[in-house]
Amino acid sequence: MSDISGKGEHDMKTLSTSAEDDSGHEIGIGDVQAVGLQKSFHLWSALGISFSVTSVPLAIGTYLSVSVGVGGSPVYFFGYVVSVIFNLCICASLAELAAVFPHSSGQLYWTSQLAPQRYARGLSYLVGWLTAAGYFFWTAATFLITSELIFALVQICHSHFTPLAWHYYMCYFAIGLWALLPNTVFFKWYPLFLQGLVVYINLGSLFILVLLLVRSSPKQTSEYVFKDFVNQTGWSSNAVVFFIGLLPGLTAINGFDSAAHMAEEMSEPSRQVPQVMFISAVASTIAGLPMILVYMFCITNPANLLDPLGGQPIVQLMVDSLHSLPLSIIGTLIFIICFACASITLLTTFTRIWWSLAREGGVPFSKFMARISDSSQLPINSIIFSVVACSLIGLLELGSATALNAILGSAVLCIFFSYAIPIACSLMSKRSAFERPHYFNLGKALGTALNLISVVWIIFVFVWLCFPLYLPVTMDNMNWAVLACAVVLLISGINWLIHAKTEFHVSRSIQRG
């Protein structure tokens, strides 16, 4: 196995100025040409990863449990719209960064290029750990949701069966092994699988949409969907309820950087990465809106969603609304396949983040984690570590489902935090890195405005994501997201003192005073 240590000695060169490649396309500032990884992904396969990471048309249904008592349908719909508008500002800001600095380290590398030189190394290290933690939690959450959907299907077919915690964990572990295979043994066919996945998600969503519209009766009124505010949270202010109910939209249109971590496996990353980021976000936004409306209009028994089959309200909705066991089974299978595939793509993203952080010396056993297999040209050690780590955190399900769900809820906090730092650094440097010609050029005025809106929005929602959904606060409903983020910071701090303080290195192609 070849060793990519991450101290600037690996087979990669960084271009400090813009240029053109042999085909005449512009190469972004800081564009990378990595020898270690094979160029396995192109525009459509990378789009398959980015689109399926969130799988918005289907995944948005899994947030029904949040909306039922937290504002109801109006918050679910209008909260999605508000969140999407501001999240697209973040996406545009990050896409421009990816065009200028295409690199598999994503926001870690962007921070190293944009932060004041005195703070670049420390901030880059922090961003790297926040990004890795966010996708680690997100990957584990997808494993869990998939296992819940599977046992919801079992309960549809066998209503008297009650799954135990260890049932969920064994299924959770099996999903991890399933996600491992396309990322290793069957990686040769992975890009083709990703192209088909985009088609599957959209066709599956269309099938669910038509099925619910045809079969559900009676449908909800427009007043229920757009006006009937439901506050069962214990919070006296409806404004507070609206803001804490933004979670579906914040989570659904997110993960913009997933394509950025594939940069060194794409032939033209300075163009393809920002294209994938923005196309995926816009497509997800458009696909999510009609699905939300269909879900809301087709709820026939809102009370059942508070205690749904398998913990998944979308399954309960289909059972209540489709009035058919075979159709409910088919609909649930569509969701199971979607989330099983999303588990694969999220594992891919997490492994590339962990590998790139290891390459820079930012994790324990960095040299081991950063190795590329000579036979497969894949970071096998990082891939196996990722599956093992996700499997270990899943053990919390055996002791406390509340604890695991609370930790996984911190994924959005970590990822948003990792977005805010490079965008803020861009503003502090007065966008000087964007003065040279580059693809996806927002321009000085628009770029500054979008960067500023993004940072303010992230700070704003960061506060609300730390609020508990329900009062009075108990051990069961407490929001543990801040504690989970604190644990991430603690672990990264310990690793810094023991290992990374001397080993962590990030190259800087642009020198600043």
Share of the chain above pLDDT 90, in %: 51
* Res. 22: pLDDT tops 50: no
Q: What is the mean pLDDT of residues 428-453?
A: 91
Confidence at residue 42, expressed as pLDDT on a 0 to 100 scale: 67
Which band of pLDDT confidence, cut at 50, 70 and 90, is reported for residue 33? very low
Confidence at residue 399, expressed as pLDDT on a 0 to 100 scale: 57
What does the alpha-carbon distance between residue 163 and residue 148 come to, in Å, rounded to a whole number?
10
Which band of pLDDT confidence, cut at 50, 70 and 90, is reported for residue 510? very low
Tell me which residue of 112, 118, 124 sits closest to 513, measured CA to CA. Answer: 118
Residue 354, both tokens: 């962990």
Contacts of 66 (CB under 8 A, 6+ apart): 76, 245, 247, 248, 469
What does the alpha-carbon distance between residue 167 and residue 391 come to, in Å, rounded to a whole number?
14
What does the alpha-carbon distance between residue 82 and residue 66 come to, in Å, rounded to a whole number?
17
Helices and strands (DSSP H and E) totals, the chain: 22, 6
* Res. 389: pLDDT tops 80: yes
What does the alpha-carbon distance between residue 59 and residue 201 come to, in Å, rounded to a whole number?
10
Does the bond joining 248 to the residue before it have cis omega, within 30 degrees of 0? no
189-216: pLDDT as tens digits: 888 888 788 889 889 999 999 999 999 9
Q: Which CATH superfamily is domain 40-498 in?
A: Amino acid/polyamine transporter I (1.20.1740.10)
> How far from 423 is each of 91, 314, 391, 454, 457, CA to CA, in Å?
11, 36, 33, 8, 12
Share of the chain above pLDDT 70, in %: 88
Tell me which residue of 145, 94, 125, 497 sits closest to 346, measured CA to CA. Answer: 145
Q: What is the mean pLDDT of residues 406-426?
A: 89
* Res. 25: pLDDT tops 70: no
Confidence at residue 305, expressed as pLDDT on a 0 to 100 scale: 81
* Res. 512: pLDDT tops 50: no
* Res. 402: pLDDT tops 80: no
Confidence at residue 398, expressed as pLDDT on a 0 to 100 scale: 66
Q: Which of the two residues, 10 and 452, has the higher pLDDT score?
A: 452
- Indicate the helix (H) or strand (E) that contains 59: helix 56-59
Which band of pLDDT confidence, cut at 50, 70 and 90, is reported for residue 385? very high
3-state secondary structure of 468: coil
Which band of pLDDT confidence, cut at 50, 70 and 90, is reported for residue 35? very low
Residue 419, both tokens: 């977005």
Tell me which residue of 353, 262, 271, 356 sits closest to 100, measured CA to CA. Answer: 271
DSSP string, 163-232: --HHHHHHHHHHHHHHHHHHHTTTGGGHHHHHHHHHHHHHHHHHHHHHHHHHH--SPPPHHHHHT--EE-
Residue 82, both tokens: 């508000």
What does the alpha-carbon distance between residue 98 and residue 91 come to, in Å, rounded to a whole number?
10
233-277: pLDDT as tens digits: 899 999 999 999 888 888 888 888 888 888 777 878 888 899 999
Which band of pLDDT confidence, cut at 50, 70 and 90, is reported for residue 414? very high
What does the alpha-carbon distance between residue 265 and residue 356 come to, in Å, rounded to a whole number?
12
Count of Cβ atoms closer than 10 Å to residue 389 Cβ: 17
135: Cα separation from own chain's centroid: 6
Q: Which of the two residues, 37 and 153, has the higher pLDDT score?
A: 153
What does the alpha-carbon distance between residue 382 and residue 400 come to, in Å, rounded to a whole number?
28
What does the alpha-carbon distance between residue 482 and residue 292 come to, in Å, rounded to a whole number?
29
Confidence at residue 341, expressed as pLDDT on a 0 to 100 scale: 92
pTM metric for this prediction: 0.86
What does the alpha-carbon distance between residue 237 and residue 234 come to, in Å, rounded to a whole number?
9
- Residue 237 near residue 74 (C-beta atoms within 8 A): no
Confidence at residue 80, expressed as pLDDT on a 0 to 100 scale: 94
Contacts of 413 (CB under 8 A, 6+ apart): 134, 462, 465, 466, 481, 482, 484, 485
* Res. 218: pLDDT tops 60: yes
Q: What is the mean pLDDT of residues 369-380?
A: 89
Q: What is the mean pLDDT of residues 141-159?
A: 91
Name the most confidently modeled range: 18-27, 44-53, 209-218: 209-218
> How far from 226 is each of 156, 217, 242, 293, 298, CA to CA, in Å?
31, 19, 13, 10, 14
Strand partners, 12: 34
* Res. 5: pLDDT tops 80: no
Confidence at residue 252, expressed as pLDDT on a 0 to 100 scale: 86
* Res. 365: pLDDT tops 60: yes
Confidence at residue 38, expressed as pLDDT on a 0 to 100 scale: 57
Confidence at residue 16, expressed as pLDDT on a 0 to 100 scale: 35
Q: Which of the two residues, 303 and 151, has the higher pLDDT score?
A: 151
What does the alpha-carbon distance between residue 32 and residue 100 come to, in Å, rounded to a whole number?
10
Residue 150, both tokens: 């599977």
* Res. 2: pLDDT tops 50: no
Sign of CA dihedral 334, 351, 80, 223: positive
Domain ranges of the chain: 40-498
Which band of pLDDT confidence, cut at 50, 70 and 90, is reported for residue 7? very low
Packing angle, helices 107-114 and 117-157, rounded to 10:
160
Confidence at residue 1, expressed as pLDDT on a 0 to 100 scale: 46
Q: What is the mean pLDDT of the chain?
A: 85
Confidence at residue 257, expressed as pLDDT on a 0 to 100 scale: 87
Give the least confident one: 46-50, 166-170, 316-320.
Answer: 46-50
Strand partners, 216: none
Confidence at residue 141, expressed as pLDDT on a 0 to 100 scale: 87
Confidence at residue 427, expressed as pLDDT on a 0 to 100 scale: 93
What does the alpha-carbon distance between residue 425 and residue 420 come to, in Å, rounded to a whole number?
9
What does the alpha-carbon distance between residue 208 and residue 225 come to, in Å, rounded to a whole number?
19
Confidence at residue 117, expressed as pLDDT on a 0 to 100 scale: 87
